Chains A and B, each alone.
Chain A
Amino acid sequence: MPEKRTYPNRLGLNGWVFGGRWGVERYLFILHRLTGLGLITYLLMHIVVTASRALGAEWWDRSIGAVTGPIFTFGEFLVVAGFAFHAANGLRLVLIEMGWLTGKAEEPIYPYKTSLNVQRPFMIVMMALAAVLIVMGGVDIFAAH
Protein backbone atom coordinates (compact mmCIF):
# COMPACT_ATOMS: atom_id res chain seq x y z
CA MET A 1 0.00 0.00 0.00
CA PRO A 2 1.58 3.35 -0.97
CA GLU A 3 2.62 5.61 1.89
CA LYS A 4 -0.05 8.22 2.57
CA ARG A 5 1.43 11.70 2.18
CA THR A 6 -0.95 14.33 3.51
CA TYR A 7 -0.53 18.09 3.77
CA PRO A 8 -1.00 19.61 7.21
CA ASN A 9 -3.86 22.08 7.26
CA ARG A 10 -4.48 23.20 10.85
CA LEU A 11 -5.20 26.95 10.92
CA GLY A 12 -3.11 27.71 14.01
CA LEU A 13 -3.31 31.22 15.47
CA ASN A 14 -4.97 32.37 12.25
CA GLY A 15 -7.87 30.26 13.37
CA TRP A 16 -8.30 32.56 16.37
CA VAL A 17 -8.35 35.87 14.54
CA PHE A 18 -9.42 35.08 10.99
CA GLY A 19 -11.90 37.72 10.05
CA GLY A 20 -14.55 37.86 7.37
CA ARG A 21 -17.61 35.69 7.59
CA TRP A 22 -17.64 34.76 11.26
CA GLY A 23 -20.30 35.69 13.78
CA VAL A 24 -20.08 38.28 16.55
CA GLU A 25 -19.52 35.72 19.27
CA ARG A 26 -16.28 34.63 17.62
CA TYR A 27 -14.89 38.16 17.87
CA LEU A 28 -16.12 38.50 21.44
CA PHE A 29 -14.15 35.36 22.28
CA ILE A 30 -10.96 36.91 20.88
CA LEU A 31 -11.53 40.23 22.63
CA HIS A 32 -12.22 38.39 25.88
CA ARG A 33 -8.82 36.73 25.62
CA LEU A 34 -7.02 39.96 24.74
CA THR A 35 -8.60 41.92 27.59
CA GLY A 36 -7.90 39.04 29.95
CA LEU A 37 -4.21 39.01 29.06
CA GLY A 38 -4.06 42.78 29.44
CA LEU A 39 -5.73 42.63 32.84
CA ILE A 40 -3.47 39.92 34.28
CA THR A 41 -0.38 41.78 33.06
CA TYR A 42 -1.68 44.90 34.80
CA LEU A 43 -2.61 42.98 37.96
CA LEU A 44 0.86 41.56 38.45
CA MET A 45 2.37 45.06 38.35
CA HIS A 46 -0.47 46.58 40.37
CA ILE A 47 0.06 44.23 43.32
CA VAL A 48 3.71 45.24 43.55
CA VAL A 49 3.03 48.99 43.26
CA THR A 50 0.18 49.10 45.76
CA ALA A 51 1.99 46.92 48.29
CA SER A 52 3.90 50.08 49.22
CA ARG A 53 0.94 51.34 51.27
CA ALA A 54 2.10 49.01 54.04
CA LEU A 55 5.19 51.18 54.47
CA GLY A 56 3.39 54.45 55.05
CA ALA A 57 2.52 57.70 53.29
CA GLU A 58 5.98 58.53 51.98
CA TRP A 59 6.50 55.18 50.22
CA TRP A 60 2.98 55.31 48.90
CA ASP A 61 3.43 58.74 47.38
CA ARG A 62 6.71 57.63 45.85
CA SER A 63 5.12 54.58 44.20
CA ILE A 64 2.20 56.59 42.91
CA GLY A 65 4.56 59.24 41.62
CA ALA A 66 6.40 56.61 39.63
CA VAL A 67 3.23 55.64 37.81
CA THR A 68 1.84 59.10 37.12
CA GLY A 69 1.85 60.70 33.70
CA PRO A 70 -0.20 60.88 30.48
CA ILE A 71 0.85 57.42 29.27
CA PHE A 72 -0.14 55.91 32.60
CA THR A 73 -3.44 57.76 32.59
CA PHE A 74 -4.21 56.34 29.18
CA GLY A 75 -3.10 52.92 30.33
CA GLU A 76 -5.45 53.21 33.28
CA PHE A 77 -8.31 53.97 30.92
CA LEU A 78 -7.43 50.88 28.90
CA VAL A 79 -7.53 48.80 32.08
CA VAL A 80 -10.95 50.15 33.05
CA ALA A 81 -12.28 49.66 29.53
CA GLY A 82 -10.80 46.18 29.39
CA PHE A 83 -12.34 45.29 32.73
CA ALA A 84 -15.76 46.63 31.71
CA PHE A 85 -15.76 44.50 28.57
CA HIS A 86 -14.25 41.42 30.21
CA ALA A 87 -16.73 41.56 33.09
CA ALA A 88 -19.82 42.10 30.92
CA ASN A 89 -18.80 39.42 28.42
CA GLY A 90 -17.68 37.19 31.28
CA LEU A 91 -21.08 37.40 32.94
CA ARG A 92 -22.67 36.41 29.64
CA LEU A 93 -20.21 33.49 29.36
CA VAL A 94 -20.87 32.26 32.91
CA LEU A 95 -24.62 32.22 32.25
CA ILE A 96 -24.12 30.39 28.95
CA GLU A 97 -21.50 27.90 30.09
CA MET A 98 -23.57 26.92 33.09
CA GLY A 99 -26.48 26.20 30.79
CA TRP A 100 -28.84 29.00 31.85
CA LEU A 101 -28.75 30.90 28.57
CA THR A 102 -28.35 28.03 26.13
CA GLY A 103 -31.94 26.94 25.87
CA LYS A 104 -33.11 23.34 26.05
CA ALA A 105 -32.33 20.71 23.45
CA GLU A 106 -35.08 20.81 20.82
CA GLU A 107 -35.85 19.07 17.54
CA PRO A 108 -34.03 20.97 14.77
CA ILE A 109 -36.49 22.37 12.24
CA TYR A 110 -35.13 24.38 9.30
CA PRO A 111 -34.33 27.33 9.42
CA TYR A 112 -32.40 26.23 12.50
CA LYS A 113 -32.46 28.31 15.67
CA THR A 114 -29.48 27.53 17.88
CA SER A 115 -28.23 28.54 21.31
CA LEU A 116 -26.63 31.50 19.55
CA ASN A 117 -30.11 32.88 18.90
CA VAL A 118 -31.13 32.32 22.52
CA GLN A 119 -28.23 34.31 23.96
CA ARG A 120 -28.11 37.08 21.40
CA PRO A 121 -30.47 39.54 23.10
CA PHE A 122 -28.55 39.20 26.34
CA MET A 123 -25.27 39.66 24.47
CA ILE A 124 -26.54 42.94 23.02
CA VAL A 125 -27.59 44.17 26.48
CA MET A 126 -24.19 43.22 27.92
CA MET A 127 -22.29 44.99 25.17
CA ALA A 128 -24.43 48.10 25.62
CA LEU A 129 -23.69 47.97 29.36
CA ALA A 130 -19.97 47.59 28.67
CA ALA A 131 -20.07 50.60 26.33
CA VAL A 132 -21.81 52.71 28.97
CA LEU A 133 -19.27 51.69 31.62
CA ILE A 134 -16.36 52.45 29.30
CA VAL A 135 -17.72 55.93 28.63
CA MET A 136 -18.29 56.52 32.34
CA GLY A 137 -14.76 55.36 33.10
CA GLY A 138 -13.37 57.58 30.37
CA VAL A 139 -15.20 60.60 31.72
CA ASP A 140 -13.92 59.92 35.21
CA ILE A 141 -10.30 59.40 34.18
CA PHE A 142 -9.89 62.12 31.60
CA ALA A 143 -12.40 64.79 32.56
CA ALA A 144 -12.85 64.63 36.28
CA HIS A 145 -9.22 64.73 37.41
Chain B
Amino acid sequence: MNQTENKTTNIVFRVRRFDPAKDREPYFEDFTVPVSNGMPVLDGLWWIKEHVDPTLAWRASCRMGVCGACAMLINNRPGLACTTQILNVADKVLLLAPLPNFDIIRDLVPDLQPMMESHRKQMPWIVRDDEEEMLMPTDQYWQSHEDLDKYLQFSYCIKCGACMAACPVVATDSLFPGPQPLTQGYRYLVDSRDGAFKERKKILSSELGPWSCHYAGECSAVCPKGVDPARAIQLMKRELVLDYLRLNKRRYKKAAGLLPPEKRKGRREGIPEPPPFTVEGAASIRPPDRT
Protein backbone atom coordinates (compact mmCIF):
# COMPACT_ATOMS: atom_id res chain seq x y z
CA MET B 1 0.00 0.00 0.00
CA ASN B 2 1.35 3.45 -0.89
CA GLN B 3 2.48 5.02 2.35
CA THR B 4 1.44 8.54 1.40
CA GLU B 5 -2.15 7.62 0.53
CA ASN B 6 -4.66 8.83 3.04
CA LYS B 7 -7.17 6.06 2.39
CA THR B 8 -9.16 4.85 5.36
CA THR B 9 -10.49 1.34 5.85
CA ASN B 10 -13.30 0.48 8.22
CA ILE B 11 -12.14 -2.06 10.77
CA VAL B 12 -14.48 -3.58 13.36
CA PHE B 13 -12.98 -3.35 16.85
CA ARG B 14 -14.47 -6.26 18.82
CA VAL B 15 -13.73 -5.18 22.40
CA ARG B 16 -14.26 -7.23 25.56
CA ARG B 17 -16.22 -5.03 27.94
CA PHE B 18 -16.88 -5.42 31.63
CA ASP B 19 -18.23 -2.82 34.04
CA PRO B 20 -18.17 -4.20 37.62
CA ALA B 21 -20.95 -1.80 38.65
CA LYS B 22 -23.35 -3.06 35.98
CA ASP B 23 -22.26 -6.35 34.42
CA ARG B 24 -22.08 -9.85 35.87
CA GLU B 25 -19.88 -11.19 33.09
CA PRO B 26 -17.68 -9.74 30.36
CA TYR B 27 -19.19 -9.47 26.86
CA PHE B 28 -18.02 -8.38 23.41
CA GLU B 29 -19.02 -5.07 21.85
CA ASP B 30 -18.32 -4.03 18.25
CA PHE B 31 -17.19 -0.58 17.12
CA THR B 32 -16.53 0.34 13.50
CA VAL B 33 -13.43 2.53 13.32
CA PRO B 34 -12.04 4.32 10.23
CA VAL B 35 -8.41 3.22 10.16
CA SER B 36 -5.71 4.89 8.10
CA ASN B 37 -2.22 3.69 7.29
CA GLY B 38 0.12 3.62 10.26
CA MET B 39 -2.59 4.01 12.88
CA PRO B 40 -1.80 2.06 16.06
CA VAL B 41 -4.43 0.24 18.10
CA LEU B 42 -4.20 2.91 20.78
CA ASP B 43 -5.29 5.62 18.35
CA GLY B 44 -8.24 3.43 17.39
CA LEU B 45 -9.27 3.24 21.06
CA TRP B 46 -8.99 7.03 21.41
CA TRP B 47 -11.19 7.40 18.33
CA ILE B 48 -13.85 5.20 19.93
CA LYS B 49 -13.67 7.23 23.15
CA GLU B 50 -13.99 10.54 21.32
CA HIS B 51 -16.65 9.61 18.78
CA VAL B 52 -18.66 6.64 20.04
CA ASP B 53 -18.40 5.59 23.66
CA PRO B 54 -16.62 7.67 26.31
CA THR B 55 -17.04 4.92 28.91
CA LEU B 56 -14.52 2.55 27.28
CA ALA B 57 -11.60 2.13 29.70
CA TRP B 58 -7.97 1.11 29.15
CA ARG B 59 -4.51 2.00 30.48
CA ALA B 60 -2.07 4.03 28.40
CA SER B 61 0.61 6.59 29.05
CA CYS B 62 3.70 7.17 26.94
CA ARG B 63 2.16 6.05 23.58
CA MET B 64 5.65 5.11 22.42
CA GLY B 65 6.35 1.64 23.78
CA VAL B 66 8.43 2.45 26.87
CA CYS B 67 6.00 2.53 29.80
CA GLY B 68 4.23 -0.81 29.40
CA ALA B 69 0.80 0.49 30.46
CA CYS B 70 -1.17 -0.41 27.32
CA ALA B 71 -0.48 -4.16 27.16
CA MET B 72 -3.58 -6.07 26.06
CA LEU B 73 -4.67 -9.08 24.04
CA ILE B 74 -4.67 -8.00 20.38
CA ASN B 75 -6.11 -10.68 18.09
CA ASN B 76 -5.41 -13.32 20.76
CA ARG B 77 -1.80 -12.31 21.22
CA PRO B 78 -0.50 -10.13 24.08
CA GLY B 79 1.13 -6.92 22.87
CA LEU B 80 1.36 -3.18 23.35
CA ALA B 81 -1.53 -1.20 21.85
CA CYS B 82 0.67 1.80 21.09
CA THR B 83 3.24 -0.08 19.00
CA THR B 84 0.87 -2.44 17.16
CA GLN B 85 -0.40 -1.04 13.87
CA ILE B 86 -3.98 -2.05 13.17
CA LEU B 87 -3.54 -2.83 9.49
CA ASN B 88 -0.56 -5.09 10.28
CA VAL B 89 -2.69 -7.46 12.32
CA ALA B 90 -6.24 -7.11 10.99
CA ASP B 91 -8.04 -6.63 7.73
CA LYS B 92 -11.68 -6.80 8.86
CA VAL B 93 -12.03 -7.50 12.57
CA LEU B 94 -9.65 -6.62 15.38
CA LEU B 95 -10.24 -8.56 18.58
CA LEU B 96 -9.28 -6.70 21.76
CA ALA B 97 -9.40 -8.16 25.24
CA PRO B 98 -7.65 -7.48 28.57
CA LEU B 99 -4.50 -9.48 29.33
CA PRO B 100 -5.48 -12.99 30.46
CA ASN B 101 -4.17 -14.54 33.68
CA PHE B 102 -4.95 -11.30 35.51
CA ASP B 103 -8.29 -10.39 37.08
CA ILE B 104 -10.25 -7.85 35.06
CA ILE B 105 -10.85 -4.54 36.83
CA ARG B 106 -12.85 -3.01 34.00
CA ASP B 107 -13.01 -3.33 30.19
CA LEU B 108 -9.38 -3.62 29.03
CA VAL B 109 -7.80 -2.90 32.44
CA PRO B 110 -6.16 -5.93 34.16
CA ASP B 111 -5.22 -6.09 37.84
CA LEU B 112 -1.41 -6.30 37.73
CA GLN B 113 -0.96 -6.17 41.51
CA PRO B 114 -0.25 -9.94 41.88
CA MET B 115 2.60 -9.61 39.37
CA MET B 116 4.06 -6.68 41.33
CA GLU B 117 3.88 -8.63 44.59
CA SER B 118 5.44 -11.67 42.99
CA HIS B 119 8.15 -9.37 41.64
CA ARG B 120 8.91 -8.02 45.11
CA LYS B 121 9.32 -11.53 46.51
CA GLN B 122 12.29 -12.03 44.16
CA MET B 123 14.23 -9.30 46.04
CA PRO B 124 14.71 -7.08 42.95
CA TRP B 125 17.36 -4.86 44.56
CA ILE B 126 21.07 -4.98 45.27
CA VAL B 127 21.91 -6.50 48.65
CA ARG B 128 25.32 -5.77 50.11
CA ASP B 129 26.84 -5.53 53.54
CA ASP B 130 29.06 -2.44 53.23
CA GLU B 131 26.50 -0.14 54.84
CA GLU B 132 28.79 2.84 55.32
CA GLU B 133 29.77 2.98 51.64
CA MET B 134 26.15 2.59 50.52
CA LEU B 135 24.99 5.39 52.86
CA MET B 136 27.83 7.78 52.03
CA PRO B 137 29.25 6.70 48.67
CA THR B 138 32.88 7.59 48.11
CA ASP B 139 33.25 6.14 44.60
CA GLN B 140 31.83 3.86 41.91
CA TYR B 141 31.56 0.10 42.18
CA TRP B 142 33.78 -1.74 39.73
CA GLN B 143 31.90 -3.62 36.98
CA SER B 144 33.41 -4.69 33.67
CA HIS B 145 31.59 -4.81 30.35
CA GLU B 146 31.36 -8.58 30.62
CA ASP B 147 29.75 -8.27 34.05
CA LEU B 148 27.27 -5.77 32.67
CA ASP B 149 26.41 -7.84 29.60
CA LYS B 150 25.38 -10.72 31.83
CA TYR B 151 22.25 -8.91 33.00
CA LEU B 152 21.79 -5.82 30.82
CA GLN B 153 19.27 -7.43 28.45
CA PHE B 154 17.01 -8.36 31.36
CA SER B 155 17.04 -4.87 32.83
CA TYR B 156 15.03 -3.56 29.89
CA CYS B 157 11.78 -4.99 31.29
CA ILE B 158 8.93 -2.46 31.32
CA LYS B 159 6.63 -4.62 33.51
CA CYS B 160 3.86 -4.63 30.92
CA GLY B 161 2.63 -8.13 31.83
CA ALA B 162 2.49 -9.51 28.27
CA CYS B 163 4.81 -12.40 29.16
CA MET B 164 2.63 -13.36 32.13
CA ALA B 165 -0.43 -13.40 29.86
CA ALA B 166 1.33 -15.64 27.34
CA CYS B 167 2.74 -18.18 29.81
CA PRO B 168 0.81 -21.51 29.93
CA VAL B 169 2.04 -22.23 33.46
CA VAL B 170 0.82 -18.91 34.84
CA ALA B 171 -2.53 -19.85 33.27
CA THR B 172 -3.05 -22.63 35.83
CA ASP B 173 -0.50 -22.31 38.62
CA SER B 174 -1.07 -19.42 41.02
CA LEU B 175 2.13 -20.18 42.95
CA PHE B 176 4.45 -19.95 39.94
CA PRO B 177 6.05 -16.48 39.98
CA GLY B 178 5.89 -16.06 36.21
CA PRO B 179 8.41 -14.89 33.62
CA GLN B 180 8.59 -11.22 34.65
CA PRO B 181 9.47 -11.71 38.36
CA LEU B 182 11.87 -14.56 37.58
CA THR B 183 13.70 -12.50 34.94
CA GLN B 184 14.18 -9.72 37.45
CA GLY B 185 15.26 -12.26 40.05
CA TYR B 186 17.92 -13.50 37.61
CA ARG B 187 18.94 -9.92 36.73
CA TYR B 188 19.90 -9.40 40.36
CA LEU B 189 21.25 -12.92 40.86
CA VAL B 190 24.02 -12.34 38.32
CA ASP B 191 24.63 -8.65 38.97
CA SER B 192 28.24 -8.65 40.17
CA ARG B 193 27.48 -5.86 42.65
CA ASP B 194 25.03 -8.10 44.56
CA GLY B 195 26.31 -10.11 47.51
CA ALA B 196 23.24 -12.16 48.47
CA PHE B 197 23.62 -15.30 46.34
CA LYS B 198 23.08 -17.57 49.33
CA GLU B 199 19.80 -15.93 50.34
CA ARG B 200 18.49 -15.78 46.77
CA LYS B 201 19.41 -19.42 46.25
CA LYS B 202 17.28 -20.41 49.23
CA ILE B 203 14.28 -18.42 48.06
CA LEU B 204 14.55 -19.83 44.55
CA SER B 205 14.61 -23.41 45.76
CA SER B 206 10.90 -23.30 46.50
CA GLU B 207 7.74 -22.55 44.56
CA LEU B 208 9.25 -19.09 44.07
CA GLY B 209 11.86 -20.61 41.79
CA PRO B 210 11.96 -21.26 38.06
CA TRP B 211 11.26 -24.98 38.32
CA SER B 212 7.78 -25.01 36.86
CA CYS B 213 8.94 -23.34 33.64
CA HIS B 214 9.06 -25.85 30.82
CA TYR B 215 10.23 -23.58 28.00
CA ALA B 216 7.05 -23.08 26.04
CA GLY B 217 8.87 -19.93 24.96
CA GLU B 218 5.80 -17.75 24.50
CA CYS B 219 7.02 -15.14 26.96
CA SER B 220 10.03 -14.37 24.78
CA ALA B 221 7.93 -14.45 21.64
CA VAL B 222 5.57 -11.71 22.87
CA CYS B 223 7.94 -9.48 24.87
CA PRO B 224 7.73 -6.01 23.29
CA LYS B 225 11.25 -5.03 24.45
CA GLY B 226 13.20 -8.14 23.49
CA VAL B 227 13.99 -8.96 27.13
CA ASP B 228 13.80 -12.73 26.39
CA PRO B 229 12.47 -13.92 29.79
CA ALA B 230 12.73 -17.54 28.68
CA ARG B 231 16.49 -17.14 28.34
CA ALA B 232 16.79 -15.57 31.78
CA ILE B 233 14.83 -18.39 33.39
CA GLN B 234 16.88 -21.17 31.78
CA LEU B 235 20.12 -19.38 32.71
CA MET B 236 18.79 -19.10 36.26
CA LYS B 237 18.16 -22.85 36.35
CA ARG B 238 21.69 -23.38 35.09
CA GLU B 239 23.15 -21.24 37.90
CA LEU B 240 21.16 -23.02 40.58
CA VAL B 241 21.77 -26.57 39.32
CA LEU B 242 25.49 -26.06 38.75
CA ASP B 243 25.69 -24.61 42.23
CA TYR B 244 23.87 -27.63 43.70
CA LEU B 245 26.25 -29.96 41.87
CA ARG B 246 29.16 -27.83 43.18
CA LEU B 247 30.24 -27.12 39.61
CA ASN B 248 30.36 -23.34 39.64
CA LYS B 249 32.18 -20.86 41.77
CA ARG B 250 29.46 -18.27 42.29
CA ARG B 251 29.09 -19.25 45.94
CA TYR B 252 32.67 -18.13 46.54
CA LYS B 253 32.44 -14.87 44.61
CA LYS B 254 32.36 -11.70 46.66
CA ALA B 255 30.21 -8.75 45.69
CA ALA B 256 32.06 -6.32 43.41
CA GLY B 257 34.15 -3.77 45.30
CA LEU B 258 35.07 -0.21 44.51
CA LEU B 259 37.20 0.82 41.55
CA PRO B 260 40.90 0.01 41.88
CA PRO B 261 42.69 2.79 43.85
CA GLU B 262 44.46 4.29 40.83
CA LYS B 263 41.11 4.80 39.03
CA ARG B 264 39.20 6.27 41.92
CA LYS B 265 38.15 9.88 41.72
CA GLY B 266 36.84 10.06 45.27
CA ARG B 267 33.88 11.93 46.63
CA ARG B 268 33.54 15.35 44.98
CA GLU B 269 34.12 18.38 47.20
CA GLY B 270 31.14 20.41 48.24
CA ILE B 271 28.43 17.74 48.15
CA PRO B 272 26.18 18.65 51.11
CA GLU B 273 25.57 16.17 53.92
CA PRO B 274 22.30 14.25 53.64
CA PRO B 275 19.49 15.58 55.85
CA PRO B 276 18.72 13.54 59.01
CA PHE B 277 16.43 10.55 58.57
CA THR B 278 12.79 11.31 59.28
CA VAL B 279 11.52 7.72 58.99
CA GLU B 280 12.39 5.32 61.73
CA GLY B 281 14.56 2.42 60.62
CA ALA B 282 15.55 4.13 57.38
CA ALA B 283 19.21 3.92 58.36
CA SER B 284 19.17 0.17 57.71
CA ILE B 285 20.13 -0.58 54.10
CA ARG B 286 18.25 -3.83 53.64
CA PRO B 287 14.61 -3.11 52.72
CA PRO B 288 12.15 -4.36 55.33
CA ASP B 289 10.93 -7.88 54.71
CA ARG B 290 7.49 -7.36 53.26
CA THR B 291 6.86 -10.94 52.07
Chain A interfacial positions (CB closer than 8 Å to B): 4-16, 18, 20-23, 25-26, 29-30, 32-33, 93, 96-99, 102-110, 112, 114-116
Contacts and interface: CB of A to CB of B under 8 A. Distances in A.
A24 to B, nearest CB: 9
A116 B219 CA distance: 10
Q: Which of A96, A105, A114 has the most CB of B within 10 A?
A: A105
B241 A10 contact: no
Interface string B148-167: 01111110100000000001
Nearest to A26: B216
Contacts of A102: 230-231, 234-235
Interface residues of B, number: 49
Where chain A touches its partner, the secondary structure class is: loop
28 contacts: A5-B20, A6-B104, A6-B105, A7-B18, A9-B100, A9-B110, A10-B170, A11-B171, A13-B172, A15-B172, A16-B171, A18-B76, A20-B76, A21-B76, A25-B215, A29-B215, A93-B215, A99-B234, A99-B237, A103-B231, A106-B149, A107-B149, A110-B226, A115-B230, A115-B231, A115-B234, A116-B221, A116-B230
Contacts of B25: 7
Interface string B189-215: 000000000000000000000000011
Nearest to B186: A105
Contacts of B220: 114-116
A24 B106 CA distance: 33
B100 A15 contact: yes
Contact of A105 (B103, B172, B231): B231
B115 interface: no
Given A97-B215, A105-B149, A108-B156, A8 B237 contact: no
B111 interface: yes
Contact of A32 (B75, B103, B214): B214
A112 B223 CA distance: 9
Contacts of B105: 4, 6
Interface of B: 18, 20, 25-26, 75-77, 98, 100-105, 110-111, 149-154, 156, 167-168, 170-172, 174, 214-218, 220-221, 223, 225-228, 230-232, 234-235, 237-238, 241
B20 A10 contact: no
Contacts of A10: 100-101, 170-172, 174
Given A102-B231, A106-B149, 12 more contacts: A6-B111, A9-B98, A10-B171, A16-B171, A29-B216, A30-B168, A96-B215, A102-B230, A107-B153, A108-B228, A115-B231, A116-B217
A120 to B, nearest CB: 10
B218 A6 contact: no
A113 to B, nearest CB: 8
Given A7-B103, A29-B215, A97-B215, A105 B234 contact: no
